[in-house]
A and B are shown apart, each in its own frame.
Chain A
Amino acid sequence: MRQLQFMRSNTFRWTAAVSALFALFVIVLFGFIYWKIDTYLIARSDRMISVQMNYMAELPHDRRIHAIESHLAQDSRRVQFAGLFDPSGGRLAGNVESVPAGFALDGSVQAAKVVRMGAANDSGPTIRAVGRRLDHGDVLFIGRNVDETREISSVVGEALALGLVPALCLCLVAGAWLSLRAQRRVENVNQRVQRIVAGDLQERLPHDGVDDPFSRLAVIVNGMLDEMESMITALAGVGNDIAHDLRTPLTRARLALERGRTHATTLEQLQEVTDKAVAGIDQSLAIVTALLRLTEIENSRRSAGFGNVALHEILREICDVYEPIAEDKQIALGVDIDRKLHVWGDRDLLFEAVANLVDNAIKFTPPGGKVNLALLRGENASIVHVTDTGPGIGEQEREAVLRRFYRSDKMRHTPGVGLGLSLVAAIVKLHGFRLVVQPGPGGRFDIVCADRQSS
C-alpha cells in the first residue's frame, strides 16, 4: 500500500502533469516540423517541374521527344512523369497514358492523379504536375511524385517515438523518486513530531546541514523547540513555586482541622480551629485568584477599555485609601502631585498597579519611615514615582522581584502572596509602559508612561 502511496502524492501528480504537457508540446513541435518540411518539398518540386516544362517547351519538336525519353531514362527513383500528346490526345512520348481529365493546361502547378504506362491498376499516385499546350497544338505534361513527404513523416514519427517515450519514462521515474524521497522525509519528521507530542521534548527534527528549504525549515522548528523546552522548564519551576506557596497554607489548615477533630472538647475550641483552617484556605484561594488575575491581564490583548486617564486623580485616590493604613503603621505618606498629567490606558488597571506599588511600599517600610508618591514629567513620558525608606531592593534582586512568587529572603515572614510586582509588571507591559526598579537607598519604583504616539 505504502509503495503505491507515491502515486497519490502531490509531487508525483505534478510530475505526471508536467510530463503530459511536455509530450503534447513535443508532438505539436514535430507536427509543425513535418508540415514545414512538406510545404518546402512541394514548393521545391513545383519549382523543378516548372523549370523542366520551360526547358522542354523551348526545344524544337524532334529534340523534345528525345529529351523526354532521356529525362525519364535518367530517373532511377521513378518519381518523374512526362508525356507529349498530339492535339487529338494521342501519345507521342513519355510514361503517362493520358492527361488526367479536368487538368488545366495553363502552365500552373497542380495536384493530379495519373496512371503510369504499363501499371497494373488504374489508380496511380497523386503527383504535382504542370501542363501546357504548345504552339502547334501538342500538349506537354510534366509531373513529379512527392511521395517522399510520406517517407519523411514516417521518419519524423520514428524520431518522435525514439525521443519522446524514453523522455516520458524518465520524467515519471524522476517524479516517483522525488515523491518517494519527500514522503520518506515527511514520514521521518512525522515520527519525531509524534515523539515530541508524546512529551519527548529533547527530540529534534533531522536536517542534513544542506541549504535546502526542508533543512532550513527543520532548523527553524528546532530553534522553536529549544525555546519551548527552556520555557517549559522555567514554567515547571514556577509550578513548583506555586505548589509550595499553595501547600504551606493548606498544610496549616489541614493540621488545624486534624488537631481540632482530635482535641477540641468545646464548641469554642472547634470554632477556633475552623477559623484557622478557613484562614489557611482563604490564603490559598488568594494565591489562585492572583494567579488567575495575572493570566487574565497577560492574555488580554484588547485595549477596548482604554481611554484618557487622569494620573493625578488616580494618585490622589490611592493616597486617600492608603493614608489611614500608613498612619496606623506610623509611616508618613507623602504626595507630590502638582501636575495634571493624562495617559492613554485602562483606569482600573492603572489604579491597581499604582495601588500595588504603594501597598508594597507601606508593607516593607518599618514604622517611622516614609513613603512618597510623586507624579513627574520626563522626556516624552509621564512618570509615577513611588519611593520608600524600607530596605530597598539589592542590585542582584532587581530582575528577580518581578518574577512570580519571588520574595526576598529578608521578607520571608512578611505576609503576602508574592505576586504583587508581577501584576504591576503585567499591567505596565499591557499598556506599553515601563516599570523601572531604581537603585536604593530604599525602594524606588518608576512607572514610565510613554506618551501616546499621535497617529
Chain B
Amino acid sequence: MTKVLLIEDDDGTAEEVVAELSGLGFDVERAANGIDGLAKARANDPDVMIVDRMLPGMDGLSVIETLRKDQVATPVLVLSALSAVDDRVRGLRSGGDDYLTKPFAVVELIARVEALLRRPVDSRETTLRVGTLELDLIKRTARRGDRSMDLLPREFRLLEYMMRRSDQLLTRAMLLEEVWNYKFVPATTNLVDVHMGRLRHKVDGPGEPQMIHNVRGSGFILRAQS
C-alpha cells in the first residue's frame, strides 16, 4: 500500500485530503506541525509527502531541506497560500518536486500526487510507445498503427509529454506548466482545451477507438485501451 505523509496544520483541509486519499486506497498519515512531520518522515519512510508551506514550529520548506540534507529523496508536493515565484520554490521544483497553490481542486492534488509517485524514468529510449501509438524522438515522426500523423512541433511536444505519463490524469495546470512553461494562469481559460482538441483530432482518427480522454472538469488522460 502506498504510504502518504501529510504535514498540514489546518484540520479542515487535512480532514478532506485524508478522506479523499484514503478513499483512493492510500495509507495516509498526518502530522500537524513541522517537527512532528519531520519525525514521522524519518520514522515511516513514506512514498510521497504532501507538505504545507507554513507550519507551526518549523516551516515546510525547512522540513524538506532538512530531509534532503539527509539524502532522503522522497518526492514532495508543497501546498501553499503563497504563489510560487520565490527562489527557494524554484529550487524545489528543479529538484523534481511539485508545488500547488491554495486553494486547489482535490482532483488537482490527486493528479499531482499520482504524477510524483509515477515519475517517468528517464529512459534512453528514443521511441515512445503507448498502445498502437508510436513516437520517434529522433526522426520526430508519429504513427498510430499504420497511419502516420503529421504533427506540428507544439503538438509533438504535447503528445510526448502525455505518452511519458500515459494512464495518468494530467490537469490543465500541469500541462500549462510542463508543456508550455507557463508560470501563471492565462486569461484565456480554454487555452489547453484548444490545443488538446487539435491534437486529439489528429490522434483519434474517424472510426478509431478513442485514446485521449477528457475527464470532465479536471483534465486529460492518454489511455492505451479505452
Per-residue A-contact encoding for B161-194, CB less than 8 Å = 1, 0 else: 0000000000000000000110111111011001
Is the C-beta of A241 less than 8 angstroms from some C-beta in chain B? no
Nearest Cβ in chain B — how far from A306, in angstroms? Answer: 13
Known: A285-B103, A320-B154. Is A296-B85 also a contact (CB below 8 A)?
yes
Between-chain CB contacts (< 8 Å), 18 pairs: A285-B103, A289-B83, A289-B185, A292-B83, A293-B83, A296-B83, A300-B85, A321-B154, A321-B195, A325-B188, A325-B194, A328-B194, A351-B183, A356-B187, A359-B186, A362-B188, A363-B187, A417-B187
Is the C-beta of A367 less than 8 angstroms from some C-beta in chain B? no
**Total of A-B residue pairs, C-beta within 8 Å:** 51
Per-residue A-contact encoding for B185-210, CB less than 8 Å = 1, 0 else: 11110110011011000000000000
B87 A304 Cβ-Cβ under 8 A: yes
A324 B198 Cβ-Cβ under 8 A: yes
Q: How far is the CA of A241 from the CA of B180 in the complex (A)?
A: 33
Is the C-beta of A158 less than 8 angstroms from some C-beta in chain B? no
B184 A293 Cβ-Cβ under 8 A: yes
Q: Which of B103, B187, B198 contacts A360 (CB 8 A)?
A: B187
Nearest Cβ in chain A — how far from B200, in angstroms? Answer: 12
By the criterion of a CB under 8 Å from any partner CB, how many residues of chain B are at the interface? 22
Q: How far is the CA of A322 from the CA of B101 in the complex (A)?
A: 25
B186 A355 Cβ-Cβ under 8 A: yes
B180 A321 Cβ-Cβ under 8 A: yes
A275 B183 Cβ-Cβ under 8 A: no
Is the C-beta of A369 less than 8 angstroms from some C-beta in chain B? no
- Of chain A, the residue at the smallest CB distance from B217 is A275
- Residues from chain A with Cβ under 8 Å of B101 in the complex: 289
B194 A324 Cβ-Cβ under 8 A: yes
Q: How far is the CA of A321 from the CA of B181 in the complex (A)?
A: 11
Q: How far is the CA of A328 from the CA of B194 in the complex (A)?
A: 8
A325 B191 Cβ-Cβ under 8 A: yes
- Residues from chain B with Cβ under 8 Å of A275 in the complex: 217
A296, A322, A325 pick with most chain B CB within 10 angstroms: A325
Nearest Cβ in chain A — how far from B212, in angstroms? Answer: 15
Q: How far is the CA of A286 from the CA of B197 in the complex (A)?
A: 24
B103 A420 Cβ-Cβ under 8 A: no
- Residues from chain A with Cβ under 8 Å of B185 in the complex: 286, 289-290
Is the C-beta of A227 less than 8 angstroms from some C-beta in chain B? no
By the criterion of a CB under 8 Å from any partner CB, how many residues of chain A are at the interface? 31
Q: How far is the CA of A320 from the CA of B85 in the complex (A)?
A: 24
- Of chain B, the residue at the smallest CB distance from A290 is B185
Q: DSSP majority for the B interface?
A: loop
Knowing that A293-B83, A359-B186 are A-B contacts, what are 11 other residue pairs whose CB atoms are under 8 Å apart, sorted by A's residue number?
A275-B217, A278-B217, A289-B101, A289-B185, A292-B83, A317-B180, A317-B181, A320-B154, A348-B183, A363-B188, A420-B187
Q: Which residues does B use to contact A, with CB under 8 Å? A: 83, 85, 87, 101, 103, 153-154, 180-181, 183-188, 190-191, 194-195, 197-198, 217
- Of chain A, the residue at the smallest CB distance from B195 is A324
Nearest Cβ in chain A — how far from B54, in angstroms? Answer: 15
- Of chain A, the residue at the smallest CB distance from B103 is A285
Is the C-beta of A352 less than 8 angstroms from some C-beta in chain B? yes
Q: How far is the CA of A362 from the CA of B87 in the complex (A)?
A: 33
Nearest Cβ in chain B — how far from A245, in angstroms? Answer: 14
- Residues from chain B with Cβ under 8 Å of A292 in the complex: 83
Per-residue B-contact encoding for A276-301, CB less than 8 Å = 1, 0 else: 00100000011001101100100010
Q: Which of B183, B194, B197 contacts A352 (CB 8 A)?
A: B183
Nearest Cβ in chain A — how far from B125, in angstroms? Answer: 26
Is the C-beta of A334 less than 8 angstroms from some C-beta in chain B? no
Q: How far is the CA of A250 from the CA of B154 in the complex (A)?
A: 37
Is the C-beta of A416 less than 8 angstroms from some C-beta in chain B? yes
Nearest Cβ in chain B — how far from A285, in angstroms? Answer: 6
A321 B187 Cβ-Cβ under 8 A: no
- Residues from chain A with Cβ under 8 Å of B187 in the complex: 356, 359-360, 363, 416-417, 420
Contacts of A144-171 to chain B: CB distance below 8 A: none
Q: How far is the CA of A417 from the CA of B184 in the complex (A)?
A: 14
Q: How far is the CA of A89 from the CA of B85 in the complex (A)?
A: 115
- Of chain B, the residue at the smallest CB distance from A282 is B105
Per-residue B-contact encoding for A307-320, CB less than 8 Å = 1, 0 else: 00000000001001
- Residues from chain A with Cβ under 8 Å of B153 in the complex: 320
Q: How far is the CA of A422 from the CA of B94 in the complex (A)?
A: 30
- Residues from chain A with Cβ under 8 Å of B217 in the complex: 275, 278
- Residues from chain B with Cβ under 8 Å of A321 in the complex: 154, 180, 191, 195
- Residues from chain A with Cβ under 8 Å of B186 in the complex: 355, 359
Known: A293-B83, A324-B198. Is A359-B188 also a contact (CB below 8 A)?
yes
- Residues from chain A with Cβ under 8 Å of B198 in the complex: 324
Q: How far is the CA of A362 from the CA of B190 in the complex (A)?
A: 13
- Of chain B, the residue at the smallest CB distance from A275 is B217
Nearest Cβ in chain A — how far from B147, in angstroms? Answer: 22
- Residues from chain A with Cβ under 8 Å of B195 in the complex: 321, 324
B101, B184, B190, B195 pick with most chain A CB within 10 angstroms: B184
- Of chain A, the residue at the smallest CB distance from B188 is A359
- Residues from chain A with Cβ under 8 Å of B183 in the complex: 348, 351-352
Q: How far is the CA of A286 from the CA of B173 in the complex (A)?
A: 13
Per-residue B-contact encoding for A402-427, CB less than 8 Å = 1, 0 else: 00000000000000110010000000
- Of chain B, the residue at the smallest CB distance from A297 is B85
Q: How far is the CA of A88 from the CA of B53 in the complex (A)?
A: 118
Q: How far is the CA of A317 from the CA of B87 in the complex (A)?
A: 24
Q: How far is the CA of A348 from the CA of B83 in the complex (A)?
A: 14
Q: How far is the CA of A317 from the CA of B183 in the complex (A)?
A: 14
B85, B180, B183, B187 pick with most chain A CB within 10 angstroms: B187
Q: How far is the CA of A362 from the CA of B180 in the complex (A)?
A: 19
Nearest Cβ in chain A — how far from B102, in angstroms? Answer: 10
- Of chain A, the residue at the smallest CB distance from B187 is A359
- Residues from chain A with Cβ under 8 Å of B180 in the complex: 317, 321
Q: How far is the CA of A351 from the CA of B83 in the complex (A)?
A: 17
Q: How far is the CA of A300 from the CA of B187 in the complex (A)?
A: 22
Nearest Cβ in chain B — how far from A44, in angstroms? Answer: 89
Q: How far is the CA of A292 from the CA of B82 in the complex (A)?
A: 9
Q: How far is the CA of A293 from the CA of B198 in the complex (A)?
A: 31
- Residues from chain B with Cβ under 8 Å of A359 in the complex: 186-188
